[in-house]
Amino acid sequence: MVNDKMVNNKWLRHVGYGFGDMSSSMFWKVFSYYLPFFYSNIFGLSLKDAGIILLVTRIWDAVSDPMMGILADRTQTRWGKYRPYLLFVAPLFSIAGILLFTTPDWGYTAKLVWAYATYILMMTVYTGINVPYGAMLGVMTADSQEKTVYSSFRMFFAYGGSFFALFLWEPLCNALGGYNTPQGWFWAMVVIAAACFVLFICCFLLTKEELKTVSTVSIGSDFKALLSNKPWWILIGAALCFNLFCTVRGATVAYYFADIIPAGAQLAIGRWSFLFYAGLFLAVGEVSNMIGVALCVPIAARWGKKTTFIAVNIALCILSVLFFFIPVSQTGFWLMLLAQILISMLTGVMSPLVWSMYADVSDYAEQKYKTASTGLIFSSSSMAQKFGGAIGGSAALWLLAACGYNSQLSIVNSQLPQPDSALLCLRCLMSFIPAAVSIIAVLVVSFYPLTTARMKEIDAALQIQRN
């Protein structure tokens, strides 16, 4: 059992908080990287319809995310504002994930309706648990640097969970029914969903809300303050670009390995060789993300959050462009893996940085507008994550469709190659397109005003204001 002494241990709190995003990220990475492929190549939807589903459901998120943030901000229980949602929504979270990867034996129209219903349900439940979880960062400590530490633990465990989910996904599918069968995907998700449930319960048990913030203004005033918050607008744009970068590359990987990397491709080391497949490529990226997360705190402390954000995105642009020119060969496979390691280390630095910047924006809003709207602000981060994922996934599918990609060739008749236009599109989705997104992110965040010096002033003012 978890006792008060364990909860008051700062290191255990860091770990406990990390368990929450370990759970969320296991689902999110499978959705982002494999759901487009599942819809088009396993479930049986057209690329056009699959892309529309990913985008249209974001309209509901534009409403549900801020609603959840407002609800969480005004929740008061003996466990705190945000923490109770980890306990009560966790079972629904796992069930919704299983339903999402269920393929009913119905006609096309009925299956399309099922896909819309289960995806909307999954994203609604994801909002119900992830918005409060993210908002907890704003009330677990008042110290800006400590928030970066919490955020780094969060992302370290998130990438750890992603590693296991992505590395094991294809083997699980193969062991539980077959990678090319609906049954394999369903039972693989059952295993992942069970693990996610346990992790969220552990997160609830090991964390504690330290700050008691109370929203004393109306909902309308909260929204007015949010829309007047210049740093919030800038960070939303920057976070949207970051999520777009990650999703465009991630959603393309399954297609890239199905149609550009030869079947049975091997990575050789002397006499040893092992299979070079999408799950390995993605899983290596998650381990590299974890290294980047570990580097985030010292780098951000030395350079500042804004400068770190800009420098990382410039490096991401350069590496993404170089990826286009890597040949499909034995040497090329190793270069692809090296590029994936470097790119993922950089995105690993970015992830906790962005969440920590949202916490700073929350403090800025509380100090300037006298409103404790942490949940509302963090709901916008969830919305940016979802919109980035939706736009990235939809854009990838629609571009492939426009370039003549045939979703049945890689599974039904692998001897037939995709059109040259589709293969070129796949290569650009892994290189030039994410590179352009990184440049946009640099331009957006160059206007971000919350520097290290400014946050010290805000922290000092808040200490007086809260007392």
DSSP 379-397: HHHHHHHHHHHHHHHHHHH
**Is residue 393 pLDDT above 50, yes or no?**
yes
Q: Which residues partner with 272 through β-bridges?
A: 269
Q: Give a yes or no: residue 5 inside a domain.
A: no
pLDDT bin (cut points 50, 70, 90) of residue 62 is low
Residue 258 lies in a domain: yes
Beta strands in 336-419 (DSSP E): none
pLDDT value for 412: 45
Specify if 2 maps to a domain: no
Q: Kind of pairing, strands 272-275 and 266-269?
A: antiparallel
**Single-letter amino acid code for the residue at 347:** T
The larger pLDDT score, comparing residue 205 to residue 66, is at: 205
Is residue 288 one of the residues assigned to a domain? yes
Task: Give the rounded percent of residues in the chain with a pLDDT score beyond 70.
Answer: 91
Stretch 355-370: mean pLDDT, rounded?
82
Q: What is the pLDDT of residue 141?
A: 82
**Comparing 80-89, 341-350, 389-398, 409-418, which segment has the lowest mean pLDDT?**
409-418
pLDDT for 184: 96
pLDDT over threshold 90, residue 106: yes
CATH number at residue 355: 1.20.1250.20
- Is 398 within 8 Å of 48 (Cβ atoms)? yes
Counted domains in the chain: 1
Decide if pLDDT at 445 tops 80.
Answer: yes
The answer to whether residue 156 scores a pLDDT higher than 50 is yes
The answer to whether position 6 is within a domain reads no
Token digits of residue 380: 């916008």
Cα separations in angstroms, 131 against 54, 108, 221: 20, 34, 20
Quote the DSSP letter at residue 275. E
CA 148/CA 385 separation, integer angstroms: 19
pLDDT at residue 413, rounded to an integer = 42
Q: What is the mean pLDDT of residues 382-395?
A: 74
Residue 200 lies in a domain: yes
Residue found under tokens 């007086």: 464
Q: Measured between alpha carbons, how far is 381 from 250 in angstroms, rounded to an integer?
A: 20
Q: What is the band of 409 on the pLDDT scale with cuts at 50, 70, 90?
A: low
* DSSP string for 153-164: HHHHHHHHHHHH
Average pLDDT on 257-268 reads 88
Q: How far is CA 380 from CA 21, 33, 148, 385, in A?
A: 17, 22, 19, 9
Query: Which structural domain, as residue segments, surrounds residue 172?
Result: 13-466
Q: Best-predicted range by mean pLDDT among 167-171, 291-295, 335-339, 395-399?
A: 335-339
Predicted pLDDT of residue 440:
96
- Give domain status of residue 125, yes or no: yes
pLDDT, mean over the chain: 86
- Comparing 136-145, 198-207, 323-332, 352-361, the range with the smallest average pLDDT is 136-145
CA distances from 87 to 83, 140, 202 (A): 7, 17, 9
Q: Give the DSSP letter string of 63-126.
A: HHHHHHHHHHHT--BTTBSSTHHHHHHHHHHHHHHHHHT---S--HHHHHHHHHHHHHHHHHHH
Q: Is residue 4 part of a domain?
A: no
Identify the residue with better confidence: 457 or 389: 457
Least confident of 11-25, 66-80, 234-248, 424-438: 66-80
Residue 71, φ and ψ in degrees, nearest 5: -60, -45
What pLDDT does residue 191 have? 96
CA 408 – CA 416 distance, rounded (Å): 10
The whole-number pLDDT of residue 8 equals 61
Quickly tell me which residue has 């290596």 as its tokens. Answer: 284
pLDDT in tens, 192-211: 999 999 999 999 999 888 87
Q: 357 exposed, middle or buried (CB, 10 Å; 0-12, 13-18, 19+)?
A: buried
Q: Is the pTM of this model over 0.85?
A: no
User: Residue 39's pLDDT is what?
Assistant: 92
